[in-house]
Structure 1
């Protein structure tokens, strides 16, 4: 990679900020041209809420068979979606309903700690940032620290982005209020761009109640996140490139791929085609809206064909479109299918489609009143509110520079570590296993950070970690509660550039819930500050 001079870097930053400023001006001049309160009938409001939830269900079932089947490539050929009943068992929907339930029971003033407590006690399968958060919450690391990069290597991942829709749905024309709720909920599992993913999606929902142009809806979502964030820069690029190539989404997809599908800090994505990063998948949502141009099938199809998390992305794209056009204008066959399921409870929830629509409408009316609007039996009046981005924060893991597998010469294992076959997805790998006190390993690496990946399980043990001779305040703990799938064993970032030595020493204790004292290490990911 070529080094750029300070003048070139400054020029590049100036161009990026200028592009973002142009987008914000577009939002200010077009989306909010009719300044002042806006009125919408209760009937239309309800229809849009119904459309948003129906869109999520239809989109996720459509993309379900393709999820993570296309990594760094476009899905070609026919897409045969699952029957709509597939949506009933989708985590894309039932996880967000966990947080909706908190609002319905505790109230709209529920705190981040309240959302964290509900998540801590959830019983469904979780992965990535969600799994990291539940792991932390069950170790006494409360929200918002449960989603902080010091404790969660997945903090930039997609998780909150796919669980935030319910917030945007209940904030029609109120993007600032939407961001406030996102900040409370999203910090349970995410930080930085991972948090902004939810704000971007919810900002689009908020705009969708009063805007029929998908391009303006995407621009409105963009205006809800910091211009300097990589997430905002990616969406700004997409808006600019799609304006130049309005009819060739594949060409623009390739531009996004070449510039942005790289340097994923997630242990599963480092130097692999897999990418569960929030901003890349958020761009794929925007692809569906921009190139779908208001057509239901095209919106879902393009968001799906972009690949990676290709059930979550069409779910959010179709959800936003459902809010734009309303339930009444969704293609008839989908409505016929939904009618058969409308009273079926989603997995792990007390909500059916009809229930969550009713719940969302009640919360929406309360949000409008709290924002200074008016609610009557026939209509609502929503005060003027323009997007306002939060201060910039970033996960500072750095760029992955090496993946050191357990047989690499950088490792020095004591004699009581045992070889064991492990897996990264379907790929076999070598791992090292030890149990109980006495086992040690050292790792020499050059960079500003490192993450240890391994198998966390019900019989996991603990180890102390030393970096350059200094004991870390973070223990490597391999125990994890059931149905929580994570490989984030230990992590550190912010070290001085250069050579470092990590020493891991097995302890004789474990979490009281653990059935053993086992530690399995599969690899280390080395990072360099950007």
Structure 2
């Protein structure tokens, strides 16, 4: 009979004590790093294994705690055989791993300099289901809009979402000590689906891994990796705030969680999260990764617990945090508690791939050696020399510039079969909904729409009922003249049994609206 294991309290801090005793207060990166091949391989394995452990642990709570942290008395299960059981019975949980593997596979087949189009086409035509920025990008690519335009915020209302952040681990793991080289890969791949802060999430995660190879000081890793992100970006400011609040409240992660919530919980991008607790924005979820790393202080258990209990995307965040700490520690030093049952899962191919953990350990190591050599390092039988890169900020870009949600307008879950028009006042709009069919119909169909604003045709679009190729949002338009507008959506190829389900519309303006009003009764 399988049992839940409870780690004795003394063991929870043991790893952190051991790590802090052997680490040093690092202030800069060396120009070169010398590492034994077996150590490099162990760290790479730790990175991939840490991801799988983290996503498995956080899976049951994913987006079930939005705008609140998971209380201490909520027991999150972990037992011997849990990883294998989850991989077999819930393979879709590992989307942040098998999507990484899509890109690893392209590099294996097309080389380390494969163009963005190869990554984009593999991603868009894969069998797995996608959401948010990923699905918007898939639709764009399948309809002829290629990267970087496929991830640009004017073409993708989810450009600031978490999508590339959860898929960027591969870019860091194949670039030990070379954050700028990882950023180059993130430029190609991350702009498939993201832009601005959404892209920076992946740049940052990639950089965390690269520095984790050559520093065992988790605080240094967190700070140094941030140098790859432009200081004027909100992403940089958010993570810098977490670092500042950790210094201010070093023993109270929940206080820092509250500070994050107060300042960074109102996302401007994703229309699904506007005016609600749901938040898939890259910044706030990256803040939870850093929350776990800083307050975990090298303790694997505490790092996973905190990055999970922070809420929102509570499987992907501990996956990133666990992967980074797994790289710092190396596979062999990940506590046995977290690796129990891992061996029996390492030969299982992730769904939609022919790659298992054991396979990616080998493939990823090969790619890392190729990148080391490409950047002037040396690979010997007994020693590897890495030309360490001083992290440089990537270019500045900002999504949703001067665009703020001001209203969520209900459209009454309208079933549109011909046309529908309504007025709104603002500078932009996203119409939420999907193409649908009656329950007794098996065949999919692609409805075609023409959209008019103020009487002028602005878009012709296709709306497949097929979930894999669906358009994530019916229509969006930003940067309109400020004022009152009329939007009309017309179905140009209606077919009995098929319709457009229109749920609501998010209205945007060029200035944020403060909905809090205080009334002074003394002056009544």
1:522 counterpart SS class? strand
Partner of 2:34: 39
Distance 2:366 2:497 in 1: 48
**What are the within-5 Å matches in structure 2 for residues 29-428 of structure 1?**
33=28, 35-76=30-71, 77-81=73-77, 83-85=82-84, 86-87=86-87, 89=91, 90-396=94-400, 398-406=403-411
Aligned-pair CA distance for 1:485: 6.3
Q: Judging changes above 3 Å, is the alpha-carbon distance between structure 1 residues 479 and 335 closer, same or farther for their aligned structure 2 residues?
A: same
Aligned-pair CA distance for 1:486: 5.5
1:478 counterpart SS class? strand
CA deviations on 1:1-52 (whole Å, 9 max, x unpaired) are: xxxxxxxxxxxxxxxxxxxxxxxxxxxx975635422111111100000100
After TM superposition, the runs of 4+ consecutive aligned structure 1 residues lying more than 4 A away are 29-32
Contact 1:475 1:490 in 2 (8 A): no
Partner of 2:506: 525
Contact 1:39 1:380 in 2 (8 A): yes
Distance 2:283 2:218 in 1: 18
Aligned-pair CA distance for 1:98: 0.6
Contact 2:25 2:217 in 1 (8 A): no
Partner of 1:463: 449
Q: Judging changes above 3 Å, is the alpha-carbon distance between structure 1 residues 220 and 484 closer, same or farther for their aligned structure 2 residues?
A: farther
Aligned-pair CA distance for 1:87: 4.7
Partner of 2:427: 448
Distance 1:185 1:31 in 2: 31
Partner of 1:12: none
More displaced, 454-463 or 46-55? 454-463
Equivalenced residues, count: 471
CA deviations on 1:326-362 (whole Å, 9 max, x unpaired) are: 0111111333311111111111111111100100000
Contact 2:135 2:472 in 1 (8 A): no
Structure 2: give runs of 5+ residues left out of the alignment: 1-23, 437-443, 512-524
Contact 2:369 2:379 in 1 (8 A): yes
More displaced, 161-170 or 459-468? 459-468
Structure 1: give runs of 5+ residues left out of the alignment: 1-28, 407-429
More displaced, 45-54 or 487-496? 487-496
Q: Judging changes above 3 Å, is the alpha-carbon distance between structure 1 residues 289 and 197 closer, same or farther for their aligned structure 2 residues?
A: same
Distance 1:485 1:73 in 2: 31
1:126 counterpart SS class? coil
Contact 1:31 1:220 in 2 (8 A): no
Contact 1:460 1:519 in 2 (8 A): no
Partner of 2:415: 433
Q: Judging changes above 3 Å, is the alpha-carbon distance between structure 1 residues 120 and 516 closer, same or farther for their aligned structure 2 residues?
A: farther
Aligned-pair CA distance for 1:521: 1.2
Distance 2:75 2:127 in 1: 32
More displaced, 439-448 or 108-117? 439-448
Distance 1:484 1:338 in 2: 34
Q: Judging changes above 3 Å, is the alpha-carbon distance between structure 1 residues 487 and 118 closer, same or farther for their aligned structure 2 residues?
A: closer
Distance 2:29 2:269 in 1: 43
Contact 1:396 1:494 in 2 (8 A): no
Partner of 2:477: 492
Aligned-pair CA distance for 1:190: 1.0
Partner of 2:518: none
Contact 2:33 2:388 in 1 (8 A): yes
Could you tell me the TM-score, scaled by structure 2's length? 0.86
Distance 2:106 2:29 in 1: 35
Contact 1:127 1:484 in 2 (8 A): no
1:179 counterpart SS class? helix
Q: Judging changes above 3 Å, is the alpha-carbon distance between structure 1 residues 152 and 117 closer, same or farther for their aligned structure 2 residues?
A: same
Distance 2:363 2:259 in 1: 41
Partner of 1:22: none
Q: Judging changes above 3 Å, is the alpha-carbon distance between structure 1 residues 522 and 46 closer, same or farther for their aligned structure 2 residues?
A: same
Distance 2:115 2:27 in 1: 31
Aligned-pair CA distance for 1:475: 2.3
More displaced, 501-510 or 162-171? 501-510
Partner of 1:419: none
2:408 counterpart SS class? strand
Partner of 2:17: none
Q: Judging changes above 3 Å, is the alpha-carbon distance between structure 1 residues 201 and 518 closer, same or farther for their aligned structure 2 residues?
A: same
Could you tell me the TM-score, scaled by structure 1's length? 0.85
CA RMSD of aligned residues (A): 1.9
Aligned-pair CA distance for 1:477: 2.7
